[in-house]
Amino acid sequence: MEYKLSDIASICGGALHGEDVTVTSVITDSRARAACTDDGALFVAMRGAHHDGHDFIVEMKSRGARAFLTEHEIALSEGCGVVVVDNALEALQLWASHHRATYTGAVVGITGSGGKTVVKERLARLMPEAFRSPRSYNSQLGVALSLLMLKDEKVALIEAGISKPGEMDRLERMIRPDVVLVTSLGAAHQDNFASMEEKTGEKLLLSRDAKRVIFHGASAPQLRGHGFVDATDYVLPDGFSTDFFDRVNAQLIGMFMHEMGLPVPDFATDLERMPSPVHRSHTTVLEVDLEAMAGNLARLRSQLLPRTGVIAMVKASGYGTGDVSVARMLEAEGVDYLAVAFADEGVRLRAGGVTLPIVVLNADEDSFDVMVRHALEPEIYNFRSLEGFAASAEAAGACRYPIHVKLDTGMHRLGFLGSDIDTLTRRLRELGDRLRVATVFSHMAAADDPTQDDFTRMQIDLFERMSGQLEAGLGYGVKRHLANSAGVRFPEARYDFVRPGIGLYVGTSTLKTKIVQIKRLQKGDAVGYGREGRLSRDSVVATIPVGYADGLDRRLGCGNWSMLVCGHPAPTVGRICMDSAMIDITDIAEVSEGDEAVIFSPARGNTPEDMACVLGTINYEVLTSLSQRVKRVYWKR
C-alpha cells in the first residue's frame, strides 16, 4: 500500500493540511510497536467509548509520526500532514473499499458465530501465499485495516464479524467477497438481534453478490435449502478427529479447496498443518457441552451492564474441560480476554490459533521472554516481576507493552500492598515508554461465603481506594476488575470486567466410560485389592476401565459413589484401582458388556458438585484432577 495524503483526502472526502506525506501503513492504536518504527505510518485518531485517540497525537509526533487522519484540525509540526474528516472510522472504510476495488485476486469472506479465525488460519497454512486478515480483525475497524493491507496476492481470506444489525451491510460493501464461508450460526452475540432469523439474515448480507457460499449443515442448519454448497457432503477419512469443531472445520476447508479447484488436503498426512486433538483410544471420555458453557456465559452477561467485559478463566486446561477447544468457543462468543495460570498454557492456546489477549496470572521471570514472543500479557504483582518484565520488553524492542497490576486487598497471596502504591506509580511512570497498565485488579478471598460479606465489602472498598490512587498517579485511564464467579453477586464489584471461572463450567461436563466385563458373584465373595469389597448377597458386578490414574479419587470406592448405568445408580464395589473400578449392577436389568457407565454428569445426584461433597472438597478439584489421558469430546445440541 502506498498513498499520498492528498489521495486519501480525495477518497474519503477530507481536507488536507500541511505536507502531502506518503503513507505505507495505518496505526490506530498508539501502543502498537509499528508506531515506534514505521516512518510511513498514518496515525488515525479515533474516538471510542473509553478513549480518544486525539489525546495521543502529541505523543505520536514525539515518536516520529508525520501523517495523521483526525476529526478536527491539529497543530502541525514541520514535515507533517493531516487529513481532517467528519468521522475517522467511516473515512477508513471508504478508503478500504477503494483499495479493495483495485485488488484483482479472489476475496474469501469468512463469517459465522464461531470458528472464523481457526478456519482462516488453517486455510492459510494450506495456501501460504494467500493474504489473511491478522488475528481476529473482523470488526468494522479490523476489516478496513485488513483490506488496506492487500497487495498482489492471488487469494485474500477476510473475516467478518457482527454484533448488531446494520454492521454486515457496511462490511459487505468493503469486502465484496467472491466466495463466502459460513463457519456456524449459533447463539453468540445474540443480544442485539430480535431473533436467530434476523441474525441469520444479517450474516447472509455478506453473500449478496458472492459467486459461491459454502456452509456446514451441522453447524449452520438454517442455510439448508438456499442452494448453497453444504460441506457435510465432503467425506473425511475414517478415524479423523471426533471433536465436533475439528470435523466441521475440516469439512469446510476440504469443500472450499475442492470448489476453488485447489489441491484438496490429504488429511492423513496434513494433520500437522491441520491441528486436531490427539486421537486417544482410551474408552473413558469427558464430553463437554459447549452450548451449555455458552449458556452459562450468556446468563452471566445478563447480570452485567453492556459496557462490562468478560475475562474468562481457562487455566488448568479450562478447569479440566480442555483448553484450546474451550478457548476457541469463548473467543467466538466475544469474551474480551482469556486468563491462564502459566505461560506455557498461553503458548498452547496461541499454537491452537487463539488470538484473543491472554493474561498470564502466575507470570515468572523465566517465562518473560517467551511471553513477549507470543504476545502474552503478564500479571505484575511485585517490584521484582515489574523490573524483570520491563527488561524483557525492552530487549524485544516493545513499546508500551500491556501489563496487569495485581493488588493485595486481603487474599494475601500475591499483589502490591497499599504502602507500595506511591513507589509503584512512580516507577510505572518512569517505564511508560516500555510498559502500560492495561488493567488493575485484585482477588476476592471469600465471595462465596455470605457469612463473610463484611470482609468482602471491605475488600471492595480497599480495592476502590488503591486502584483509584494508582490510576491518579499514572495520569491515564486504567480498566479495573475484581469479581470472580462468586463475586458477581456484588454489583459494586463488577467494574470494567468480571472474571468468571468455575461459573462457566458448571453443568457442562459428562465423564463416561464403557463396561468391559460383567461377572456373577456369590454372597461372601470379595472384590478388589485388600478384599475390601465383601458381598453381602449374590451380586452382578461390572468392571469399568477408569481409575485413580484418570482422576477417579480412591475415596470414592467401597460404595461411597454411585455411577449411572441405564439411568440407575450403580455403587462402587471395593477399592478404586489405578486403571479400573468395579460397580454393582445387580438391581439394574438388561445390562451388557459395552454399555455405558456415567461417572459424573449434570444429572441430579451425579454431578461434580455432588462428588466434591463426598470427597470433602470443591468441584474445581474434581474437574482439574482428570488425567490428560481421558479424551475430551466437544459437542453442541
Q: What is the pLDDT of residue 565?
A: 95
Q: Which of 4, 61, 514, 529 does the annotation list as catalytic? A: 529
Q: Report the C-alpha gap between 344 and 339 in whole angstroms.
A: 12
Sequence-ordered list of residues with C-beta below 8 angstroms from that of 463, at least 6 positions apart, any chain = 407, 409, 442, 480, 482, 493
pLDDT score, position 122: 83
For the segment 348-363, what is each residue's pLDDT rounded down to a tens digit?
888 877 888 999 999 8
- DSSP per residue, 540-556: EEEEES--GGGT--GGG
Q: Residue 575: which residues within 8 A CB-CB, separation 6 or more?
A: 528, 529, 530, 532, 533, 554, 557, 558
Cell 470379595: give the residue.
526
User: Cα-Cα-Cα-Cα dihedral of 221, 222, 227, 231, to 10°?
Assistant: -30
> What contacts 288, CB < 8 A, 6 or more positions away?
321, 322, 325, 326, 508, 509, 632, 633, 634, 635
For 49-86, the pLDDT digits (tens) are 667 889 888 888 877 889 999 999 998 888 999 999 99
Per-residue model confidence (pLDDT) at position 240: 67
Mean pLDDT of the chain: 89
Residue 129 is predicted with a pLDDT of 87
What are the phi and psi torsion angles at 579 (to 5°)?
Answer: -120, 5
Active site residue 529: yes
541-567 mean pLDDT: 95
Residue 63, burial from CB neighbour count under 10 angstroms (0-12, 13-18, 19+)? middle
Looking at 315, 406, 479, 512, which residue is catalytic?
Answer: 315
| Higher local confidence (pLDDT), 262 or 313 | 313
Report the top-level CATH class of 509-635. Answer: mainly beta
Rounded-to-integer distance, Cα 445 and Cα 407, Å: 13
Confidence of residue 30 (pLDDT cuts 50, 70, 90): low
Q: Are strands 67-70 and 41-44 parallel, antiparallel or unpaired?
A: parallel
DSSP code per residue over 455-477: HHHHHHHHHHHHHHHHHHHHTS-
Q: What is the pLDDT of residues 107-154, one digit of tens each?
A: 999 998 877 888 888 888 888 889 999 867 888 999 999 999 999 999
HEC sequence for 167-232: HHHHHHHHHCCCEEEECCCCCCCCCCCCCHHHHHHHHHHHHCCCCEEEECCCCCHHHCCCCCEEHH
Report, as an integer, the average pLDDT of 439-461.
96
- Give CB contacts under 8 A, 24+ apart, made by 566-572: 566/590, 566/591, 566/595, 569/605, 570/542, 570/597
> What confidence score (pLDDT) does residue 626 get?
92
* Structure confidence at residue 562 (pLDDT): 97
How many other β-carbons are positioned within 10 Å of the β-carbon of residue 352? 17
Matching CATH number, 103-259, of 3.40.50.300, 2.40.10.220, 3.40.1190.10, 3.40.50.150: 3.40.1190.10
Number of H helices, E strands in the chain: 20, 32
C-alpha cell at 116: 472464523
Kindly report each contact of residues 218-227 with a partner whose C-beta sits within 8 Å and lies 24 or more positions away, as own/partner. 218/244, 218/248, 219/112, 219/115, 219/183, 219/184, 219/185, 219/186, 219/248, 219/636, 220/112, 220/182, 220/183, 220/184, 220/185, 221/185, 222/185, 222/196, 222/197, 223/182, 223/185
Confidence label for 424 from pLDDT (cuts 50, 70 and 90): very high
Average pLDDT over residues 257-285: 65
Half-sphere exposure of 518 (CA within 13 A, CB side): 19
- 10: DSSP letter: H
Domain boundaries, the chain: 3-89, 103-259, 286-505, 509-635
Rounded CA separation 203/224 (Å): 15
Which cell numbers in the block locate residue 603? Answer: 444429572
Which CATH number is 286-505's, of 3.40.50.720, 3.30.70.520, 3.20.20.10, 3.40.630.30?
A: 3.20.20.10
Question: pLDDT of 559-614, one tens digit each?
Answer: 999 999 999 999 999 999 999 999 999 999 889 998 999 999 999 999 999 999 99
pLDDT for 13 equals 95
- Per-residue pLDDT, 243: 63
**pLDDT at site 35:** 46
Q: Is 476 a catalytic residue?
A: no
- In terms of CATH architecture, what is 3-89? 3-Layer(aba) Sandwich (3.40)
How far is 152 from 154, CA to CA, in rounded Å?
A: 7
pLDDT surpasses 60 at 276:
no
Give the pLDDT confidence score for residue 124 in this predicted structure: 85
Tell me the backbone φ, ψ of residue 384, rounded to 5 degrees. Answer: -65, -45
Residues in the chain: 637
